[in-house]
Structure 1
């Protein structure tokens, strides 16, 4: 049943309101019969009458209608492609189904839109930019990564160096990155970060041209015509085994009342065709050319950090994560999302298919070394984060066939230049060693553990010169119950067939609560002393209970500073 059949009184109310406001209204009978209500409303502006098309969604009045003005060409608050009018900044959150009507919007909001278009300062506008590139139709899944270049306005044309990932065929899937923008003499005007360049090893060349303003059309061929009028040589495509790409740069309102260079890419792709068409005839054999627009997306370090400014100080830091299981793999991934400068990933184990319920990656990771596969994943998806995979079991002698000093060499790589050690091994001997090493060398040490059943966990840190106590002090206090231990599920561990050792039962999403707090504390520790960095916590040890009396509860944290214990021998 259509909404206007289910709520006929609402439709009549809308029509009555429009009539009372003096608007002439026509209902499209064909669309109504097909299940969509579309009204044409005549709206007078000055001495002219403009037809407005009002389109109601199928779930009206829960969701707002849309109003299109095909005869208007407003510089503000109108989609230049579809001619959709924008009456409020966030219609999905501001729509009032009980009070808002078409007549109300036309009487109250449309006059404000028209005044804003003329620059009337009395109009309250949302402080956001609306570049034309947000309204265009692009080739599905296309992407061209750009950067935060500031090209000299006097440079109107030039060359591009485009990078492509290995094994990517741009004739099938158009995804690439601009590595260099050059002028006609070949001088570099802008280039991408070295991390981006490493991600796109294959190269080819293309051209770019500056338009006087946003393109006047959304049709690829007409956009190309605009570029050809400026640079006639663009009429002839350059096919050298890759599609022909023309980068179009122009100034547009990228932010509220701010003009910035915006990129758009026009692609000509050549293919051989002899395919049936509707008439039954075939296209003549030979070259056919496909024209489309490809989406540009800025991907510089600054573009990423703008969204998380408090994390910027961490972008120069080095973190060593020991143990890449249920906790450590999630910690490493979240640190990569946070934009840590370098991650040293240390684990000797490999991923088993059975690890998937608690491990950060899925089936495709099975059989690979945890450190190696996680490092590859982070490098591929977070190119500004340097990763170093170190297959190593801390404290275990290397195989006799290994070179003498290999263990020491790997440990040195794991700890070289590190600003923070994160211990997710949940192994007492490893914790004891790493905690001592960190304390002696003045490196912040952070540990995270979970309990059987994933019912609880502990996150703590020890920093010589900052925390009064160390990890050994924590152990004393835990043993003496001055710090409450988290709850745990009683019962034996399980050893799935094929697994080399028993393991605890428990869900990955329960353990994520511990992992996420570990990352929050890690970032806070790394940002200590940095202006505008992520604020620090006023505690050093947190114990979380996720279950109570055999039932899950909201995470319940108990926190405290890490005090020195009188029996600890690390404070002589």
Structure 2
């Protein structure tokens, strides 16, 4: 170690001092003013990084600290570490390396005008003494354990379980899969706790969620292991002093070791589970699990053998994946898991909406379309080359089964307006199968005739309809919620003609669209981008969530008009909402028949049963 470096311009200095010349010396001057002489790591400085070690006085104590300045300093904060575990506080630090939480995670809490001495004067004592002014953020111990976990491996639990009061130790059954990593060649272990038994063999918790992609298929196996409970919080020990972060001591205290199971490369595994109390939210005590997997040759688990090689111990990341865990970041979607939705048209509008509905946890999706994914579709379709040559409905269903398995997807491959003699499967059989027993119908076909047909069927079943489509030039679009007997697509056409309605069509609604025929394609299609069209899909998702949350008045239909270009043709994003109190459906037929030309204009918006 050495003291402050010479001030020559060509001497080693941090990378950030080249962007902010003089900042390095300014930082050292701040230490000098505080009467602190930090030691500088010369190897780190030679590589352009500043690493300081020093003692900071608090009362009659001198606290051993280490400050490391990132390359992004002073835009982003330096890291300050306690280097002696004897000074570790109860909160606001990482038990792995003593990294102190002097500021909250919000980068605005750090000022680039501060030096490390000023940061310490302002924050150190409060952090060490658990001062009253802190970010309202809990410190779950699993965060630290997970930082040490085996890459790509995990075990799923449910935060709704409450097991600290049950009789321990007990047993638990897990479904698991093991594979070799594509790049590392090391094993990847994925599991879910299916149920937990107490010491008397009584089931005290069970998994009710869906299975992720890694735990689907014939490769999934089951094991039963022992779990133990700790009365105190389990924290890893500082890795600077103990490379095993305290696992040896923990494993030596376990009871009834679990049975061995097969791992790749002729290795055996033994899984251990520990339940312990921890802070799960700010000032709220809860519980967490620690899963440790020992892996080695078979002889490693039999200490009586001659000179056995001890097994390696790995942390398996604890992940929370219960129903409440999955919706906790978006409570507005909490009611969607019990809802069933029919969606017609899985093109550039319907497909991203389908995925958003599954992402938001809709319980059931029923799709209808007959189109096939072609490579050219990829530019405005949410799934890439893995879907080429497949029907859009099945490609979406398989994607959702892997990524959002809580949503059940069924589909009908049928083009409305056609008839297949071989199956005698007509339009109304397809409509009945798709719309039966759903809570909401969505039309993404962008075809006026098809929209009218679907609206008739939805209304006859007293189901609301959401229709979404872009203007022919894709300069704007509409998302409309039609309540049964409270308006319809033809009512909207009339409202556009009536200036008193206050409802304006989107930009380009009645403009001639430039159609293109891609090479090898049997029909023309519109020209437009996914990032514009997706705005309509996202707005439709907002309408769905608001409808089921009660945020949309159900006494009238609602029309949302979106514009993607301003009057000068420049890209923009804006939308308007209008309550659509339109004429009753009883008067629609005569109005529509008397206004044939407007109907013809409306038919020009799309063309086919499905969106391209």
Q: TM-score, normalised by structure 2?
A: 0.81
Residue 211 in 1 paired to residue 223 in 2? no
Q: Which of 20, 24, 31 does residue 44 from structure 2 map onto?
A: 31
Residue 444 in 1 paired to residue 464 in 2? yes
* Conservation of the 8 A alpha-carbon contact between 1:142 and 1:174: yes
Compute the displacement of 1:570 (Å): 8.7
User: Kindly tell me: are residues 154 and 514 of structure 1, through their superposed partners in 2, closer, same or farther at Cα, counting changes over 3 Å?
Assistant: closer
* Conservation of the 8 A alpha-carbon contact between 1:539 and 1:562: yes
Residue 157 in 1 paired to residue 169 in 2? yes
How do 1:269-348 and structure 2 match up within 5 A? 269-270=295-296, 289-348=311-370
Residue 127 in 1 paired to residue 150 in 2? no
**Larger relative contact order (Cα-Cα within 8 Å, sequence gap ≥ 6):** 2
* Conservation of the 8 A alpha-carbon contact between 2:483 and 2:554: no
Compute the displacement of 1:412 (Å): 2.3
Compute the displacement of 1:272 (Å): 9.5
User: Kindly tell me: are residues 369 and 253 of structure 1, through their superposed partners in 2, closer, same or farther at Cα, counting changes over 3 Å?
Assistant: same
Match of 1:474, SS? Answer: helix
Give the distance between the partners of 1:407 and 1:520, measured in 2 at CA: 30
User: Kindly tell me: are residues 494 and 285 of structure 1, through their superposed partners in 2, closer, same or farther at Cα, counting changes over 3 Å?
Assistant: farther
Q: Which of 375, 379, 390 does residue 368 from structure 1 map onto?
A: 390
Give the distance between the partners of 2:251 and 2:376, measured in 1 at CA: 58
Deviates more, 1:355-364 or 1:261-270: 261-270
* Conservation of the 8 A alpha-carbon contact between 1:80 and 1:132: no
Give the distance between the partners of 2:378 and 2:310, measured in 1 at CA: 47
Q: Could you say which residue in structure 1 is the equivalent of 2:378?
A: 356
Gaps of 5+ in 1: 274-283
Q: Which of 410, 413, 422 does residue 433 from structure 2 map onto?
A: 413
Deviates more, 1:450-459 or 1:160-169: 160-169
Compute the displacement of 1:163 (Å): 2.1
What per-residue deviation string (whole Å, max 9, x for no partner) do you get for residues 187-214 of structure 1?
3221211533895452321332222321
Match of 2:526, SS? Answer: coil
Deviates more, 1:196-205 or 1:318-327: 196-205
Give the distance between the partners of 2:483 and 2:212, measured in 1 at CA: 38
Deviates more, 1:83-92 or 1:200-209: 200-209
Q: Which of 247, 254, 261 does residue 231 from structure 1 map onto?
A: 254
Give the distance between the partners of 1:453 and 1:290, measured in 2 at CA: 62
Give the distance between the partners of 1:90 and 1:269, measured in 2 at CA: 36
* Conservation of the 8 A alpha-carbon contact between 1:248 and 1:263: yes
User: Kindly tell me: are residues 491 and 414 of structure 1, through their superposed partners in 2, closer, same or farther at Cα, counting changes over 3 Å?
Assistant: closer
What per-residue deviation string (whole Å, max 9, x for no partner) do you get for residues 136-195 of structure 1?
312122222211211143433222322236988896222232222223554322121153
Give the distance between the partners of 1:355 and 1:537, measured in 2 at CA: 39
Q: Could you say which residue in structure 1 is the equivalent of 2:34?
A: 21
User: Kindly tell me: are residues 505 and 23 of structure 1, through their superposed partners in 2, closer, same or farther at Cα, counting changes over 3 Å?
Assistant: same
User: Kindly tell me: are residues 491 and 127 of structure 1, through their superposed partners in 2, closer, same or farther at Cα, counting changes over 3 Å?
Assistant: closer
Deviates more, 1:469-478 or 1:331-340: 469-478
Give the distance between the partners of 2:308 and 2:127, measured in 1 at CA: 51
* Conservation of the 8 A alpha-carbon contact between 1:272 and 1:288: no
User: Kindly tell me: are residues 22 and 237 of structure 1, through their superposed partners in 2, closer, same or farther at Cα, counting changes over 3 Å?
Assistant: farther
Residue 82 in 1 paired to residue 97 in 2? yes
Residue 64 in 1 paired to residue 64 in 2? no
User: Kindly tell me: are residues 433 and 3 of structure 1, through their superposed partners in 2, closer, same or farther at Cα, counting changes over 3 Å?
Assistant: closer
How do 1:48-197 and structure 2 match up within 5 A? 48-71=61-84, 72-90=87-105, 92-98=107-113, 100-116=114-130, 123-135=132-144, 136-148=147-159, 149-164=161-176, 172-196=187-211
Give the distance between the partners of 1:231 and 1:90, measured in 2 at CA: 36
Deviates more, 1:422-431 or 1:157-166: 157-166
Compute the displacement of 1:103 (Å): 1.4
User: Kindly tell me: are residues 251 and 81 of structure 1, through their superposed partners in 2, closer, same or farther at Cα, counting changes over 3 Å?
Assistant: same
Compute the displacement of 1:244 (Å): 2.3
Give the distance between the partners of 1:536 and 1:224, measured in 2 at CA: 58
How do 1:530-545 and structure 2 match up within 5 A? 540-545=558-563
Q: Which of 570, 574, 582 does residue 552 from structure 1 map onto?
A: 570
Q: Could you say which residue in structure 1 is the equivalent of 2:422?
A: 401
Q: Which of 521, 524, 528 does residue 502 from structure 1 map onto?
A: 524
Gaps of 5+ in 2: 1-12, 300-305, 592-612
* Conservation of the 8 A alpha-carbon contact between 1:137 and 1:293: yes
Deviates more, 1:241-250 or 1:100-109: 241-250
RMSD: 3.2
Give the distance between the partners of 1:251 and 1:565, measured in 2 at CA: 61
Match of 2:313, SS? Answer: strand
User: Kindly tell me: are residues 375 and 395 of structure 1, through their superposed partners in 2, closer, same or farther at Cα, counting changes over 3 Å?
Assistant: same
Compute the displacement of 1:409 (Å): 4.4
Give the distance between the partners of 2:166 and 2:495, measured in 1 at CA: 69
Q: Could you say which residue in structure 2 is the equivalent of 1:249?
A: 275
Compute the displacement of 1:321 (Å): 0.7
Match of 1:443, SS? Answer: coil
Match of 1:233, SS? Answer: coil
* Conservation of the 8 A alpha-carbon contact between 1:63 and 1:97: yes
User: Kindly tell me: are residues 22 and 250 of structure 1, through their superposed partners in 2, closer, same or farther at Cα, counting changes over 3 Å?
Assistant: same
Deviates more, 1:127-136 or 1:76-85: 127-136
* Conservation of the 8 A alpha-carbon contact between 1:311 and 1:534: no
Compute the displacement of 1:48 (Å): 4.0
User: Kindly tell me: are residues 130 and 536 of structure 1, through their superposed partners in 2, closer, same or farther at Cα, counting changes over 3 Å?
Assistant: farther
Give the distance between the partners of 1:265 and 1:334, measured in 2 at CA: 33
Give the distance between the partners of 1:174 and 1:244, measured in 2 at CA: 12
User: Kindly tell me: are residues 364 and 311 of structure 1, through their superposed partners in 2, closer, same or farther at Cα, counting changes over 3 Å?
Assistant: same
User: Kindly tell me: are residues 288 and 324 of structure 1, through their superposed partners in 2, closer, same or farther at Cα, counting changes over 3 Å?
Assistant: farther
Give the distance between the partners of 2:555 and 2:538, measured in 1 at CA: 14
* Conservation of the 8 A alpha-carbon contact between 1:132 and 1:252: yes
Q: Could you say which residue in structure 1 is the equivalent of 2:581?
A: 563
Match of 1:129, SS? Answer: coil
